[in-house]
Structure formats: C-alpha cells, structure tokens
Amino acid sequence: MNITRENIDDLNAIVKVDIAKEDYSGKVEKILKDYRKNANIPGFRKGHVPMGMVKKQYGKAVLVDEVNKLLQDALNKYLTEEKLDVLGNPLPKEQENFDWDQENYSFEFELGLSPQFDVNLETKEPITHYKIVAGDEMIENQITHIRKQYGKLVSKDVVEEGDVVAGTFKNEEEGIENEISLPLENIDGKEQREKFLGAKVGDTITINTKGLFEDDHKFQDVLKVDHDKAHGLDIEVSFTISEINKQELAELDQELFDKLFGKDEVKSVEDLKEKIKEDAAKQFKQQSDQQLLNDVTEALIENNKFDLPKEFLQKWIQTVGEKPLTEEEAKEEYEKSEQGLRFQLIEGKLIRENNLEVKFEDLKAFATDRIKEQMAQFGQMNPSEKELDDIAARVLSNQDEVKRLSEQLMNEKLLDFYKENIKLEEKEVTYEDFVKEIYK
C-alpha cells in the first residue's frame, strides 16, 4: 500500500491511496474459507461447497468490504501520523470507469485543511463587562413582594383598590364556571377595575374579557380555557363575589428578618436592602458572564481574519446530513455556520495553547460543587463526603451529564482566561438599563 499527498494550496490537498492485491488478498481468502465452512447450499454437504462457487456468490461483496475497511483504516492512520488538522471529513473523488475486477486499486480523497493563524487578543476598544445590580425600584418591589408574601388577608365588606376578591367566573354558553381568588391589581385597565369598586359579597359583576388582563394566557388559569381559546378571547362573563380581603403587609421587624435569613443575619431595613442587592448580584452574574462571552466571541471573530477552504466545506456539507443537499442549499448552510466555525477554530486554538482542557478531577470537583449548591437549596447544608462522592459518581456515569457539565466548566475556564487576558471595561448598570442597552 502506498499513500501520497499533493497540496493544492494552503487549505486544500489531495490524498491518493494505492492498494495492491497483496494488501487485501490474504484477508479476503480467509473470509471466503470461513464462508465455505458454514455455507448451506442445496446439493452440497456443509463444508464441501466448491470454492469457485463460494467466490462467485460472495467474492465481490467480500472484496469490496475488505478494501473499504483497509482504505478507511489506512487513511485515518495517515491523517493521525501526519498530524493533519482537517476540517470536515475526507471526500472521495469520483472515478470514471472504476473496475472492481482489476487487482490493484487507486483512490483519491479531497481534504480541507485547517488554516494556520495566531490568535490576536488585542481589541480596538475595551470590551464592556457589565456588573448588573438591583436598582432602587427593584429593591423596593422585592421588599413589597416579601411583605405581601408574609402578610395576611383581612376580611372586608366592600371592595376597594388593592383588595383581593374571591368568587366565581361564569359563562354558560362557553361552559365556563371557575372559582378563583383574584388580586384587583391584576386586572388591566382602570375601567374594568372600577366595576369591582364598591361591590359587596354576593354581588354579581358582568365584564368583558377583551383586554381584561395584560397577557391573554392568564385566561387559561382564570377561566380554565385552553391555550388557543385564550388568545384574543372576547366574551362577557359574570363574576359573583364570595369573599373580599385586604392584603395587610407584614411588618419589617426582627421576627420577619430572622424568618427570612436566620437569627440576627439582618437587623434593619438597610441590612435587608443590602441583602437583596447581594442576592440579586449573584443571580445577575450568569447573565453578565453570558453577555461577556457573546461580546468576546464577536470581537475575536472580527479581530482574527483567516481564509477557509470554502468550496470544500460546501461540498462536504452537501453530503454530511441524512438527506443530501443541493449546491444552493449547501451554500446557504455554509453561510449560516461560517461564523460559528471560525470561532470554533479560534476557541480550539486558545484551549490547546493555554492548557484549558477539562480534566476528570476538575470535572468531578465542579460536579460536586453543583451538587452541594442544589442540596443547600433544599436545606441540606452539610452533606457527608461519601454522600457527595456517591451522587457525583452517578452523575458522571451519564454521558449526557458529562457533556453538559464539561461545556459549563470549559465556559468558566474560558471566562477566567478572557478576564485575565482581554482588555475589559467594567460598567455598573441596573438590570433594567442592562436589558435596554443589550436588547435595544
């Protein structure tokens, strides 16, 4: 067997594999002899079928199969030994008048080679690293939410703004009859809310569903209608009041603080605001880091220009899926995936050159930390080392989980690398301003 390579240019090459009869004949003969021993052909005793008949019936199929196996093994070994960094897979070149009846064969493959480049981490302008914080409005809203959650309902006789009314929605024609407790503030529109004001227990109010709630999906819970019917629902419904309650907010005192955070962890409203701000910052960190990853990705692609074997990749895309694509479809697919491929090459080079690979001991420690966090959410603050090891072993025996955790850990390693090696500019913003700036 002989393998040679012709470099067309820096990104394309042709590999030629020559296979001689002596490369495959021994293996083919052995397989055919085994076939002969086990063949059941009418008129012949098992093991006594003439070899000529076995070759005639099975010879071509065995030959093709063994040559293809030999070809793939040789090609893979060659790419490994030559340390060729290829994109996609080798594409066999079509050969006119190919004849399996000959004894020696030649096969040619097109290769798309990965470009050679150095990653430039210098950017024209510093990349913004957002530090997302809870603004005063968000903090006050969270305090109000806490006070409502731990407050109590006080029974009333007459409905006023801010009350919670319990009752039954009805529409006989539509088959609607549903009991529900409804905060008046959830009703969208002043005119609709005013129909409830001044009403008493036992009163029945008739209202139209159009624009009753800001989101029509709310009707799925309030009226128990299906998803499709909820959209644009425009009917009249009656609401018979069975109970009126006023939401009495909980006092911001030490008893509430201890209930929320543990004894003496928070001692004042100012401490509470600071605690809410700290907790919010932890929650927002994931969004901040993801945005940094997005922005760094764009900057690295923009900052590192190199050529790709475009024509080869489009041909490869045509054949790689379950269903072959047309040239035009492959071209569209390539254009959609080109930026992702460029970043994949940049990221891969950074990982290799800076030893950022995920090792098993790192993955186990990472998985254990995630397990601790989840257990803490359910009140298990001090799990034993054996318990953690057992759970981690079960998690890491699942290949899907291993892949998911490995990707998360690699993202963390890359984030740390970017924060240390790319010029960043920290910008503190409230969550509301962050959303406006990113999704403007």
Domain ranges of the chain: 2-113, 152-248, 267-438
Task: Tell me how long the chain is.
Answer: 440
Q: Do domains 2-113 and 152-248 have the same CATH topology?
A: no
- Give the per-residue pLDDT at 308: 97
- Quickly state the pLDDT bin for 378 (edges 50, 70, 90): confident
Provide the pLDDT for residue 338: 95
| C-alpha pair distances (Å), 271 with each of 135, 160, 309 | 15, 33, 60
Place 335 in a pLDDT band, splitting at 50, 70 and 90.
very high
Name the CATH architecture for the domain at 267-438.
Answer: Orthogonal Bundle (1.10)
Average pLDDT over residues 322-335: 93
Candidates 157, 69, 121; CA nearest to 346 is 121
Q: Can you give the pLDDT at residue 235?
A: 94
Confidence of residue 189 (pLDDT cuts 50, 70, 90): confident
The CATH homologous superfamily to which domain 2-113 belongs is: Trigger factor ribosome-binding domain (3.30.70.1050)
Q: What local confidence, expressed as pLDDT, does residue 94 receive?
A: 87
Buried b (16+ CB within 10 A) or exposed e, 67-76: beebbeebbe
Q: Is the pLDDT of residue 44 over 90?
A: no
- Model confidence at 171, pLDDT cuts 50, 70, 90, reads very high
Residue, of 297 and 380, whose pLDDT is higher: 297
Q: Distance between CA 33 and CA 47 in Å, rounded? A: 9
Q: With bands split at pLDDT 50, 70 and 90, how would you rate the model's confidence at 342?
A: very high
pLDDT at position 291 over 80: yes
CB neighbour list of residue 69: distance below 8 Å, 6 or more residues apart: none
C-alpha–C-alpha distance, residues 276 and 260, integer Å:
11
Residue 181 token pair? 């407790």
Reported as a pLDDT band with limits 50, 70 and 90, residue 97 is confident
Which amino acid, residue 135? Answer: G
CA 27, CA 21: separation in Å to the nearest integer?
Answer: 11
Evaluate if residue 20 carries a pLDDT over 90: yes
Predicted pLDDT of residue 427: 95
Average pLDDT value over all residues in the chain: 92
Report the C-alpha gap between 427 and 413 in whole angstroms: 22
CATH 3.10.20 fits 152-248, yes or no: no
Instruction: Tell me what the mean pLDDT of segment 325-333 comes to.
Output: 94
pTM of the model: 0.73
Percent of the residues in the chain that have a pLDDT greater than 90, as a whole number: 77
What is the model's pLDDT at position 37?
A: 81
Q: Which two tokens stand for residue 43?
A: 């008129």
Q: How confident is the model at residue 398 (pLDDT cuts 50, 70, 90)?
A: very high
Closest CA to 105 of 60, 67, 78, 75: 67
* Side-chain half-sphere CA neighbours of 269 within 13 A: 8
Cα dihedral 62, 67, 73, 76 sign: negative
Q: What angle do CA 144, 146, 150 make, to 5 degrees?
A: 120
